[in-house]
């Protein structure tokens, strides 16, 4: 089984660059953008998977971090374009690494108080509270007029990465894909680490974990914040891909989609988010081409996954997980 | 700011609270008895609104529409329970979230398929048109007062139903020990279907009543659902009394916050800034209240399952 999962994983990783390269050679930039979209959504879901898959924390509010990351990219670029300082005399920027860092830091700072309140609860309460906090940020973005309010914010051009022409689809895909690999590597190392073991224990038996002298609350909080940071990074990339950020990135629907990506692919599997994102974008593209009502069919597929294929796509292809 | 305006806003808050109660009561009952988190509860609210608007448009009678909304939402709820929800009781919350999220997609797109993307409009029935004079010299729409009255009646009815009838006794028994009540020979499966359909009918009633105040459109259910979540989290999941108090609190805080915050801020900063800042803060206010309550009572004010 283990060998089969490795084979599936290797194929999945190779799939995106293969699609992007093929598209580059036949001159169909659209498919490169499609592959980039898959990679970004996968990265966002990798972030959520730390909380949801490893920690068993069903956060229904990760769109908050996805959208915040997006707004960081949009707001910093707008200020740089208008040559106005953002706050405290700090200038805006169109430099991607700086934007990423800012998005990661901001999401960590926002996730900390949200986690402090939400993690005092569990189960259904946790689901609803994370949802409510995300809604709070969503309504704030809608009613705060400075950055476009309900209409969202357009980026005049894609932000830059030193030494690459990110305005072209392929170099941008490479940037995103490398970050996705880094996110997957981090997830893998985390899962194998002592911290990962403690997080797993916090999910399975918090009382026992506490008895060994490790606080489940602290472990969960770190996981939640880390998870928010990665999803925030993905949000910044998403804003740059679309050169647009709007409150819809913060909406509860987005939170639901992120969970769906993980479940479609396979919960708490390393490559589940990537498999799920690929499947989701393919559905959107293939069904969306056939009918405007593709979400109806997505709903039916989701029901089928919940009732008949609980391991998701990776579960179907590679069988049951090795442990957990 | 006049007294009449203040009273008007207070009544608006009460009316919003009462509507939220109708939605939250079903949600919290379903969670309390079956242990299920139902995201698709907002879709039942939408079904009620569409049924009322469609029947009222066809027959010309709001009252027939109201009956239709109750029937349609209860039928949709019963169907949903028998076909899908029943299989989810033993599953974990993640599966429940996912399956009911899928139901939202199916209901929303299905409704769009049937009725199109354009909103429907529902007129206030002639009997309830007009306004009532308020102390302080204002006018208040009779229809909104009627909604508050309906909410109070439902609250009293629920109290009597849960506390004084055989069905209510079974519901309470189901909340505290479902294996035991099944062992005592009570058909727990049909009890679940009845509770679910009943909660659905309340949501449908709320949808129909609100439909005459706003437009009836796809997607109207989700904002209401999320507010109802806030309500039951504040009130304590599973508690009807908590849902009532939480709903009134959320309704009043939200409405009064939107009304008073910009005015309060205008005392401290220039009026051009106070408006937007106040509006932005007011839209976050109920969530801040929720966070504060949870910081002190993590399982809500009146938790049924401490």
B87 touches chain A (CB under 8 A): yes
Looking at residue A178, its pLDDT comes to 93
Q: Which residues of A touch B222 (CB under 8 A)?
A: 252-253
Structural domain harbouring B78: 3-218
Residues of A in contact with B295 (CB under 8 A): 117, 120
> pLDDT-based confidence at B304, cuts 50/70/90?
low
Nearest-angstrom CA–CA distance, B88 and B93: 9
Contact A259 B102 (CB under 8 A): no
Question: Do B291 and A133 lie within an 8 Å CB cutoff?
Answer: yes
pLDDT (average), residues A193-209: 89
Helices (runs of H) and strands (runs of E) counted in chain B: 11, 2
In a domain, B10, yes or no: yes
Reported CATH class of domain A2-318? mainly alpha
Residue A87 in this model has a pLDDT that exceeds 80: no
Inform me whether the C-beta atom of residue A291 falls under 8 Å from chain B C-beta atoms.
no
Q: What pLDDT does B1 receive?
A: 58
Beta bridge partners of B133: B139
Buried b (16+ CB within 10 A) or exposed e, A33-56: bbbbbbbbbbbbbbbbbbbbbbbb
Of residues A227 and A91, more confidently modeled? A227
Q: At A324, is the pLDDT very low, low, confident or very high (cuts 50, 70, 90)?
A: very low
The three-state (H, E, C) secondary structure of chain A, written as one string:
CHHHHHHHHHHHHHHHHHHHHHHHHHCCHHHHHHHHHHHHHHHHHHHHHHHHHHCCCCCCCCHHHHHHHHHHHHHHHHHHHHCCEEECCEECCCEHHHHHHHHHHHHHHHHHHHHHHHCCCCHHHHHHHHHHHHHHHHHHHHHCHHHCHHHCEECCCCCEECCECCCCHHHHHHHHHHHHHHHHHHHHHHHHCHHHHHHHHHHHCHHHHHHCCCCHHHHHHHHHHHHHHHHHHHHHHHHHHHCEECHHHHCHHHHHHHHHHHHHHCCCCCCHHHHHHHHHHHHHHHHHHHCCCHHHHHHHHHHHHHHHCCCHHHHHHHCCCCCC
The residues, any chain, with a CB within 8 Å of residue A22's CB and separated by 6 or more, are A31
Q: What is the pLDDT of residue B306?
A: 40
Top residue of A52, A55, A135 to mutate, by most chain B CBs within 10 Å, is A135
Average pLDDT over residues A132-141: 90
What pLDDT digit, counting tens, does each position of B69-108 carry?
A: 999 999 999 999 999 998 888 888 888 999 999 999 999 9
Instruction: Report angle CA A273, A275, A280 to the nearest 5 degrees.
Output: 90
What pLDDT, on a 0 to 100 scale, did the predictor assign at position A250? 93
- Asked if pLDDT for residue A2 goes beyond 80, the answer is no
Contact flag B37-A127 (C-beta cutoff 8 Å): yes
Q: What is the mean pLDDT of residues A179-202?
A: 91
pLDDT for B79 equals 94
In the predicted structure, residue A285 carries a pLDDT above the cut 90: no
Question: How high is the pLDDT of residue B77?
Answer: 95
Q: Is the pLDDT of residue A147 over 90?
A: no
Q: Where are the alpha helices (DSSP H) in B165-303?
A: 166-176, 178-183, 188-211, 221-235, 240-266, 271-296
Q: Is A135 part of the contact surface with chain B (CB cutoff 8 Å)?
A: yes
Mean pLDDT score of chain A:
87
pLDDT at residue B257 greater than cutoff 50: yes
Query: Could you tell me if residue B191 is inside a domain?
Result: yes
The mean pLDDT of B189-197, rounded to a whole number, is 90
Looking at the complex, report in whole angstroms how far the Cα of residue B286 sits from the nearest Cα belonging to chain A: 8
Q: Which two tokens stand for residue A115?
A: 């986690």
A66 pLDDT above the threshold of 70: yes
ipTM score above 0.90:
no
Q: Are strands B138-141 and A153-154 parallel, antiparallel or unpaired?
A: unpaired
Are B266 and B274 in contact by the 8 Å Cβ rule? The answer is yes
For residue B118, the 8-state DSSP code is S
Tell which wins on pLDDT, B31 or B75.
Answer: B75
- Interface contact B287-A133, CB threshold 8 A: yes
Q: What was the pLDDT predicted at A321?
A: 65
| Alpha carbons B38 and A127: distance in angstroms, whole number | 12
Å from A1 to nearest chain B CA?
Answer: 25
Total count of domains within chain B: 1
Q: Cβ of A119 under 8 Å from any chain B Cβ?
A: no
Q: pLDDT tens digits for A13-61?
A: 888 888 888 878 888 888 888 999 999 999 999 999 999 988 889 999 9
Please say whether the dihedral angle defined by the alpha carbons of residues A270, A271, A277 and A280, taken in this order, is positive or negative. negative
Task: Nearest chain B residue to A140 by CA: give it.
Answer: B280
**Choice between B303 and B170, residue whose per-residue pLDDT is larger:** B170
Please report whether residue B125 resides in a domain.
Answer: yes
Q: A293 in contact with B at a CB cutoff of 8 Å?
A: yes
Residue B124 within any structural domain of the chain: yes
């Amino acid at each position: 089984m283990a060998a089969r999962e490795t084979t599936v994983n290797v194929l999945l990783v190779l799939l995106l660059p293969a699609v992007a390269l093929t598209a580059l050679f036949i001159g169909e930039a659209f498919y490169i953008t499609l592959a980039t979209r898959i990679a970004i959504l996968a990265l966002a879901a990798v972030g959520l998977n730390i909380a949801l898959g490893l920690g068993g924390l069903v956060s229904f509010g990760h769109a908050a971090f996805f959208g915040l990351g997006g707004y960081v990219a949009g707001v910093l670029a707008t200020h740089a374009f208008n040559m106005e300082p953002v706050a405290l005399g700090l200038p805006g920027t169109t430099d991607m690494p700086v934007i990423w860092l800012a998005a990661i830091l901001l999401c960590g700072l926002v996730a900390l108080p949200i986690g402090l309140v939400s993690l005092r609860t569990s189960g259904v309460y946790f689901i609803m509270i994370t949802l409510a906090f995300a809604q709070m940020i969503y309504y704030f973005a809608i009613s705060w007029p400075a950055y476009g309010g309900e209409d969202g914010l357009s980026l005049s051009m894609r932000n830059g990465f030193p030494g690459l022409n990110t305005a072209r689809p392929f170099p941008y895909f490479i940037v995103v894909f490398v970050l996705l690999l880094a996110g997957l590597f981090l997830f893998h190392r985390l899962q194998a680490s002592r911290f990962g073991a403690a997080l797993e224990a916090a999910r399975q038996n918090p009382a026992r974990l506490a008895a060994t002298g490790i606080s489940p609350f602290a472990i969960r909080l770190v996981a939640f914040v880390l998870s928010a940071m990665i999803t925030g990074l993905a949000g910044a990339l998403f804003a740059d891909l679309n050169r647009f950020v709007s409150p819809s990135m913060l909406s509860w629907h987005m939170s639901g989609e992120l969970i769906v990506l993980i479940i479609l692919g396979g919960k708490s599997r390393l490559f589940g988010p990537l498999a799920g994102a690929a499947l989701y974008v393919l559905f959107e593209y293939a069904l969306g081409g056939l009918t405007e009502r593709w979400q109806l069919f997505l709903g039916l597929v989701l029901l089928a996954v919940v009732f008949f294929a609980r391991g998701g796509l990776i579960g179907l292809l590679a069988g049951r997980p090795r442990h957990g | 700011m006049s007294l009449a305006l203040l009273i008007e806003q207070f009544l608006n808050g009460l009316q919003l609270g009462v509507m939220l109660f109708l939605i939250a009561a079903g949600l919290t009952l379903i969670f309390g008895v079956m242990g299920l988190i139902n995201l698709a509860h907002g879709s039942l609210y939408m079904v009620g609104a569409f049924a009322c608007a469609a029947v009222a448009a066809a027959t010309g009678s709001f009252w027939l529409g109201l009956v239709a909304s109750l029937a349609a939402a209860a039928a949709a709820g019963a169907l949903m329970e028998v076909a899908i929800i029943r299989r989810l009781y033993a599953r974990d919350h993640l599966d429940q979230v996912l399956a009911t999220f899928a139901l939202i997609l199916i209901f929303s797109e299905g409704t769009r398929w049937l009725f199109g993307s354009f909103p429907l409009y529902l007129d206030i029935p002639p009997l309830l048109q007009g306004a009532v004079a308020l102390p302080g010299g204002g006018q208040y729409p009779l229809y909104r007062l009627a909604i508050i009255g309906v909410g109070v009646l439902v609250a009293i009815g629920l109290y009597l139903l849960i506390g004084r009838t055989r069905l209510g006794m079974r519901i309470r028994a189901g909340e505290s020990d479902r294996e035991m009540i099944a062992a005592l020979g009570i058909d727990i499966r049909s009890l679940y279907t009845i509770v679910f359909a009943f909660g659905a009918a309340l949501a449908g009633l709320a949808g129909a009543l609100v439909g005459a105040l706003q437009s009836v459109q796809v997607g109207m259910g989700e904002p209401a659902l999320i507010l109802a979540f806030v309500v039951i989290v504040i009130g304590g999941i599973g508690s009807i009394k908590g849902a009532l108090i939480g709903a009134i609190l959320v309704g009043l805080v939200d409405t009064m916050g939107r009304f008073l915050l910009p005015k309060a801020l205008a005392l401290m900063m220039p009026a051009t800034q106070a408006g937007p800042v106040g509006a932005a803060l007011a839209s976050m206010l109920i969530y801040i209240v929720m966070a504060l309550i949870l910081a002190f009572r993590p399982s809500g004010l009146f938790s049924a399952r401490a």
